[in-house]
Structure 1
Amino acid sequence: MSAKYGLVGYNSSRKHISISIPSSTEVMSPHIKSVEELRVLGINLSSFSAPTQFFICVAGVFLFYLVYGYLQELIFSVEGFKPFGWYLTLIQFGFYSMFGLVELQLTQDKRRRIPGKTYMIIAFLTVGTMGLSNTSLGYLNYPTQVIFKCCKLIPVMIGGVFIQGKRYNLADVSAALCMSLGLVWFTLADSKIAPNFNVTGVLLISLALCADAAIGNVQEKAMKLHNGSNSEMISSVLVPLCSFFLKTFFFLICGVLYLPLFLPPSQHPVKTYGYAFFFSLTGYFGISFVLALIKLFGALVAVTVTTGRKAMTIILSFMFFTKPFTFQYIWGGLLVLFGIFLNVYSKNRDKVKLPSIKDVKTWLLTGKKVRFLSQNV
């Protein structure tokens, strides 16, 4: 009996605790929200259909990154600016820091799961890849630099083997081989006809790609170990760290050894800082649309769009800036594109089906229509 009354007393004294869990749309970065409520640069595109969203994202990628590439080459065409690639990187990080701090104030979820030590490593590598990439333009044609950037797969694979112990299949190895041969072809052609070709530029952009590849592997490993998200990894906290690294390390140490590389050019201040502002702004906006493409349509579509954007950048570079041309550029570039195709196919074998030898033979002998490339949805 006493047990019964005790149980009743226990039931009557129970307290109810309500725990509310925020939805994914509430905690995600305002840069890009979920598929149901797509936000790019604060603009809600959820009311549009999927094809319209795709068109807007692709248009954003092409618009901002084509302007980004044009401004990058334009800055280095300013008289006397070529030696100041590291200073441009400092300006770029300064603007990125301002843009990032604005985004940080708008972000509702400010929690950090990845330790600060990892951010510092990524920050240092980011400074290296952007600084070396900008500096390489003082020694290389812009199209050659873009071709090198298209071949980031090569150092990524090498870094994946040593950093994460990955193993790659035949398609990935073949893709890396095609890219390597295309790079050699393109570089040899550039060395013969380009008046400002310098092996130093090849070394700088190669080191930039190695640092870029290390960034991707470190980010992937950190997200797996600490259950971090893409939104956290690209958040604005990383940008001020990069700026801090650049200011302290390069100015206080390297600047003492070779000061002219880090001093601002004073001949054209309006052009220098004006171009640099829009250069940084378009780069910051461009990544928003790339992330939206990945979020909505997957990495396969995003890689295809960005590769097309890089090809268009090379074409516009020859149109707007006077430089020598040879058909060897085309053959080397096509070989690199084929390597990119092999890489995309390797990662999406379940979605993309290539024709069999039997299908090709049937088409050659009978002329019967065959679906040479089909995509499973």
Structure 2
Amino acid sequence: MSGPHNENTKFLFYALGIFICYFVYGIIQERITRGKYGEELNEDGSVGERFTLALALVWVQCVCNWLFAKGMLAVKPQKADTTQTKYYVTSSLTYLLAMTSSNLALRWVPYPTQVVGKAAKPIPVMILGVLIGRKSYSWTRYGCVLTIVLGVVLFMFKEGKTNSGNTENTSLGELLLFVSLSMDGLVGAIQERMRASSAPSGQQMMSAMNYWSTLMLGVALVLSGEGKLFFDFATRHPKLLFDLGTLALTGALGQLFIFLMVSGHGPLACSVVTTTRKFFTVLCSVIFFGNALIPRQWFGAILVFVGLFADMIFGKKNGKPSDKEKSKDASHQKLLS
């Protein structure tokens, strides 16, 4: 009698953890990438300084995620990971490109656009699944993905007379979102081979991927000179360190709650929670940062989430995935954010 009640309590606790962590994460991420630090007067008459060092932002997150995963492995040791290094290196590279492109896009597009664009992740996963994995999908799943595509187009379509310079910058942000989605699809394809060959645990994947990502970004920071720029910026604006610490902590805790949700209640429950969280992130961003959406964009956003929910409920049911495929899907949920 106490079993179901205890499971429901855990579900609510994990769901609340995901909502709170990624709610704070989204707010802090937009504050860092679109806000300004300091009150000094610039040459153009503007006040404050924007943080534009995308590589440094991702590096901080990767370092903290790696330390967090190492801590979990230290608390709960597991069998040796026999995954080939090449899989971790390639998946880390594509993962980095996806994260960096996504963070860079925030310089030119509002956070709601980034969230809805990233919600279209099933599109590259399906395309690469057909082209590379030689998979087949039900007509229901194709219909769900087409609904998502239509929603994204409606959300991002720009009408008639806009400022040409602003349009060019917005298009660059949307291109970066497309690159990020493509890299997300490649990450999934590489991880499928990884799972088939050695089946590492979620903590081991989180630790190894963030380790290689930290090394790669560290080299990039030194070669590009962005590491020094980051140090100088943080010295001028110490408040950045607090924001970065909060971002890294909430991101790592959010991944932990996602992992607990997947292991305890399955990938479907986790997908429903994370998708609902994304929608409320859009609402909160509109409320707190004034990223107003016109009715067409609201309709597009609703179509995206309707398509995602329909795919979770009907697409997978019709496709009848094997237990092995379900295990792979569960392992991928920890990368959602």
TM-score (norm 1): 0.73
Q: How does 1:39-78 map to 2 (within 5 A)?
A: 49-78=6-35
Letter in 2 for 1:162: L
Paired residue secondary structure (2:72): helix
Are 2:280 and 1:280 aligned? no
Quick check: which one's helix share is greater? Answer: 2
Q: Give 2:188's aligned residue.
A: 216
In 2, Cα distance between the equivalents of 1:350 and 1:239?
33
In 2, Cα distance between the equivalents of 1:88 and 1:191?
35
Shift of 1:110: 5.0
Q: How does 1:1-377 map to 2 (within 5 A)?
A: 49-79=6-36, 80-188=49-157, 198-234=170-206, 236-248=207-219, 250-251=220-221, 255=224, 259=225, 263-264=229-230, 266=233, 268-344=236-312, 345-349=314-318
Letter in 1 for 2:317: N
Paired residue secondary structure (1:266): helix
Shift of 1:311: 0.5
Range 64-73 or range 286-295, more displaced: 286-295
Superimposed CA distance per residue, residues 56-106 of structure 1 (whole angstroms, 9 cap, x where no aligned partner): 011111011111111111112332335322221122222223323323332
In 2, Cα distance between the equivalents of 1:221 and 1:326?
42
* Residues matched between the structures, number: 300
**Cα RMSD over matched residues?**
2.6
Greater C-alpha radius of gyration: 1
Q: Is the 8 A contact 2:262 2:269 kept in 1?
A: yes
In 1, Cα distance between the equivalents of 2:159 and 2:288?
18
Letter in 2 for 1:72: Q
Q: Give 1:367's aligned residue.
A: none
In 2, Cα distance between the equivalents of 1:300 and 1:228?
21
Superimposed CA distance per residue, residues 84-142 of structure 1 (whole angstroms, 9 cap, x where no aligned partner): 22221122222223323323332312511211111111111121111111111001100
Shift of 1:190: 8.8
Q: Is the 8 A contact 1:83 1:138 kept in 2?
A: yes
Judged with a 3 Å threshold, the aligned counterparts in structure 2 of structure 1 residues 193 and 291 are, in CA distance, closer, same or farther, namely: farther
Q: Is the 8 A contact 1:125 1:214 kept in 2?
A: yes
Superimposed CA distance per residue, residues 236-264 of structure 1 (whole angstroms, 9 cap, x where no aligned partner): 2321211001112x2355x1xxx569832
In 1, Cα distance between the equivalents of 2:51 and 2:146?
32
In 2, Cα distance between the equivalents of 1:191 and 1:64?
39
In 1, Cα distance between the equivalents of 2:184 and 2:160?
25
Shift of 1:166: 1.2
Judged with a 3 Å threshold, the aligned counterparts in structure 2 of structure 1 residues 227 and 325 are, in CA distance, closer, same or farther, namely: closer
Judged with a 3 Å threshold, the aligned counterparts in structure 2 of structure 1 residues 292 and 94 are, in CA distance, closer, same or farther, namely: closer
In 2, Cα distance between the equivalents of 1:128 and 1:141?
20
Judged with a 3 Å threshold, the aligned counterparts in structure 2 of structure 1 residues 272 and 53 are, in CA distance, closer, same or farther, namely: same
Letter in 2 for 1:311: F
In 2, Cα distance between the equivalents of 1:262 and 1:293?
39
Letter in 1 for 2:218: K
Letter in 1 for 2:28: L
In 2, Cα distance between the equivalents of 1:179 and 1:105?
41
Q: Is the 8 A contact 1:86 1:262 kept in 2?
A: no
Letter in 1 for 2:138: N
Which has the bigger relative contact order, CA under 8 A and spacing at least 6?
A: 2
Q: Give 2:329's aligned residue.
A: none
TM-score (norm 2): 0.81
Gaps of 5+ in 1: 1-45, 352-377
Superimposed CA distance per residue, residues 280-335 of structure 1 (whole angstroms, 9 cap, x where no aligned partner): 11011111111222222222211111111000000000111123331112100111
In 1, Cα distance between the equivalents of 2:179 and 2:91?
15
Runs of 4+ in 1 over 6 A off after TM superposition: 190-196
Q: Is the 8 A contact 1:151 1:336 kept in 2?
A: yes
Judged with a 3 Å threshold, the aligned counterparts in structure 2 of structure 1 residues 161 and 242 are, in CA distance, closer, same or farther, namely: same
In 1, Cα distance between the equivalents of 2:77 and 2:132?
33
Q: Is the 8 A contact 1:129 1:209 kept in 2?
A: yes
In 2, Cα distance between the equivalents of 1:260 and 1:223?
35
In 2, Cα distance between the equivalents of 1:188 and 1:331?
12
